[in-house]
A = this chain, B = another copy of it.
Amino acid sequence: MTITITAFERSPDGGKGLARDTRVRWALEEAGLPYAVRLVSFQAMKELAHRALHPFGQIPTYEEGDLVLFETGAIVLHIAQRHAGLLPADADARARATTWMFAAVNTVEPPILELANAVLLERDTTWSTERLPRVQDRVRDRMRPLSEFLGDADWLDGAFSAGDLMMVSVLLRLRASGILDEFANLAAYVARGEARSAYQRAFAAQRAVNTAEIKEG
């Protein structure tokens, strides 16, 4: 059955791979699944036809026959549960991998999103410079225990899993701030994720869209 995902017609990051379709492309590449991509403009994302697929008017969405999903965590888990390559066989290990998926999006990502809001949406204010170190420290409060937990392991729970895919994807958003590089083992962990051939194919595919856009635009 054909899998179709949506992605930005023109990603705000210009193809750096930080748009959330990259997470889904990566999972599909790890699982060896072909997929089609439908590009949507910012205008189209807010219209009813797209909001019928994604109530919050965002990307990516995932269509497979009659099934429509949104939320990268749910899409990646759906793929991981049905195809080899993203979850271990053992039931307990699968539950632990799922724990790391939720830790990525609900423990590690919220302060990173708050930092992005501080930088992107509040830099016009008189207080943004004074506030920024507080927000950065809240990110570090999550990075420190994550770094201690990972130690010198390659992945969070033995073999690479969907938990690592989500965690690396979340941490990638922190690189531009410089905070990722304060934690050498986490920076190396992210680099290990990026070095996977499935990630590289996913990255190249989203980059091609945005490079084409720039040429045409």
Contacts and interface: CB of A to CB of B under 8 A. Distances in A.
Contacts of A69: 95-96, 99
Contacts of A75: 99
A14 interface: no
A111 to B, nearest CB: 8
Interface stretch (A28-36, A123-131, A176-184, A194-202): A123-131
A105 B68 CA distance: 19
Contacts of A207: none
A66 interface: yes
> Copy number in this complex?
2
Interface residues of A, number: 47
A78 interface: yes
Nearest to A77: B98
A121 to B, nearest CB: 7
Given A105-B105, A110-B113, 20 more contacts: A55-B103, A55-B145, A56-B103, A67-B96, A68-B96, A69-B95, A69-B99, A71-B102, A71-B103, A74-B95, A74-B98, A74-B99, A74-B101, A75-B99, A78-B95, A78-B98, A109-B110, A110-B114, A125-B130, A125-B131
23 contacts: A55-B146, A56-B103, A56-B142, A56-B145, A57-B145, A58-B107, A66-B92, A67-B95, A68-B96, A71-B102, A71-B106, A73-B106, A74-B95, A74-B98, A105-B106, A106-B109, A114-B114, A117-B138, A121-B134, A122-B134, A125-B131, A126-B127, A127-B127
Interface of A: 51, 55-58, 66-75, 77-78, 92, 95-96, 98-99, 101-103, 105-107, 109-110, 113-114, 117, 121-122, 125-127, 130-131, 134, 138, 142, 145-146, 148-149
